[in-house]
A and B are shown apart, each in its own frame.
Chain A
Amino acid sequence: MTAIGCRDVTRRYANGIDALGPVDLKIREGEFVSLLGPSGCGKSTLLRIIAGLDTSSTGSVMVDARAKSSRGIGFVFQEPTLMPWASVRDNVRLPLRLTGDASDASLARIDELLTRVGLAEFADAYPRELSGGMKMRASLARALVTDPDVLLLDEPFAALDEITRFRLNDDLLALWRDLRKTVVFVTHSVFESVFLSQRVIVMTARPGRIFAERRIDAPEPREESFRTSASYAGFCREVSALLAQASAETRGRVA
């Protein structure tokens, strides 16, 4: 089953700059896909269009989960994007409030998720009292609280230090393994994309197009040990080469 389908999607900004496309993309249900590319290649724009936060200039986007309900998509922004005036629990609860859901099962999921992301003790803390990594965890819990079919992440860990990022990568993978959501993960880190995804899509910039894609046929579940394995290094080398070619093509086109 196709969970997300993009056909000939383009995005032109009001100032006439072509930011994106045309892009054709199909993502299967339950798949973990990374969009990889240099900064400003339109990968975030594509993600926002998939989420419905931005509109495409031409082309069509089909997201099954979104068509079904406004709760079908969870989105994690580049910044934690928490409400500073609300406690962690209230922040995680926000999507339920906005969609008018006060059912016991949903409320129970708040604490369940807070425990899963390791914030159970901080449920009553305010965002300013949390570290960067903890804020991102709260943001992740919030995106999952409606039990969406699709989880979209826009460079969520880019601002974190490497140790924290590795830990969050592990946790995200564990979550995906248990919950089996369709995940689209935007990143500019080759290592992150290879470690996490089943498929890495490499993009060129201005306008953002799909340059190549690479399946990461590594065994699952992937553990910490995968990071130091030879196959991981091999995938990273290949994807890095693709990214370098994509950048060269971008430069060629611009020059």
Chain B
Amino acid sequence: MRRALRVLLPVIVFAIIMGVWEATVRLRGIPPYILPAPSLIVQTLVKDWGLLVASLLATLRATLEGFLAAVIGGIGLALLFNRARWVEDAFLPYAVILQVTPVIAIAPLLLVYLPQHLAVVACAWIVAFFPVLSNTLLGLKSVDRNLVGLFALYDASPAQKLWRLRLPSALPYIMGGLRIAGGLSLIGAVVAEIAAGSAGSGSGLAFRIAEAGYRLDIPRMFAALALLSAAGIVIYAGLSAVSRLVLRRWHESAVEGD
């Protein structure tokens, strides 16, 4: 019952907002270049489907590549930092700098130095890798001290400590990092595409938004935006499902039925 409500309530809210929106646009006769009605956005989505989906796939590809690079880079760096304190002390500040510098300001530079697709992937990577890094670091440090003692008691090798103790202990934290990173890599890719759009050719969904903006094709802007939102939701839901699947037997955050 509660479960059904949790799905149903947001849907009802969505329907109400759409209804009010549609009614307002129709009753007050607002022209589509100011604010298109939801029905018109859906029509545009259908009409421009081929174009938009091709763009969506391009954006998703960059997002996925940036995400994978963030996962590998974030976990890898965390493992490296965890091996020696001085490595962490030496390099963590730079990871932080990369994180706190607005990516929209870095994107034009990357577009100067890198081929466009690579620059988009790099942007996705920059915004997404930090949560993976910091969460994994936190996880690696949160190992039960007595379990560390137990492993020492039996003279466990460094590889055994890593695979049988540190990584499994860190897994819930890593999964948390991945959930954040998934959405962020989409944001990074979109930001880079917007920056690239002004610099030249581009086929991503963000480029379509910029392009439609220049042409005052507001309905298409909304249609592309809706697709981006949907993509973000799917990424988040997918990663949440993976997290639940991986942790469901043992971690409180994922245990069902309690």
Chain A contact residues, CB within 8 Å of chain B: 48, 51-53, 70-71, 73, 75, 77-79, 81, 83-86, 94-95, 97-99, 126-128, 146
Contacts and interface: CB of A to CB of B under 8 A. Distances in A.
A75 B154 CA distance: 10
Contact of B154 (A78, A95, A126): A95
7 contacts: A53-B149, A53-B152, A77-B149, A83-B165, A85-B250, A98-B156, A126-B249
A186 to B, nearest CB: 14
Interface centre among B154, B165, B251, B252 (most CB of A within 10 A): B154
Given A75-B150, A84-B250, A98 B144 contact: no
Interface in B76-115: none
Nearest to B148: A53
Contacts of B168: 83, 85-86
A73 B153 CA distance: 8
B256 to A, nearest CB: 12
A168 B96 CA distance: 51
B250 A98 contact: no
Contacts of B165: 83
Interface in B151-205: 151-156, 160, 164-165, 168, 171
Contacts of A85: 168, 171, 249-251
B154 A99 contact: yes
A163 to B, nearest CB: 25
A128 B155 contact: no
A53 B251 contact: no
A164 B185 CA distance: 52
A237 to B, nearest CB: 35
Interface in B30-61: none
A51 B150 CA distance: 10
Contacts of B151: 98
B250 A53 contact: no
B154 A98 contact: yes
A173 B24 CA distance: 80
Interface centre among A73, A85, A97, A99 (most CB of B within 10 A): A85
B250 A99 contact: no
B147 interface: yes
A143 to B, nearest CB: 9
Given A77-B146, A79-B146, A81-B147, A127 B250 contact: yes
B153 A81 contact: no
Contact of B150 (A81, A86, A127, A128): A81
A81 B155 contact: no
Listed from nearest, the 4 A-B pairs whose CB atoms lie closest are A70-B155, A98-B154, A81-B146, A77-B146
Given A53-B152, A75-B150, 17 more contacts: A70-B153, A70-B155, A71-B154, A77-B149, A78-B146, A83-B147, A83-B164, A85-B168, A85-B249, A85-B250, A85-B251, A95-B154, A98-B151, A98-B164, A126-B249, A128-B252, A128-B255
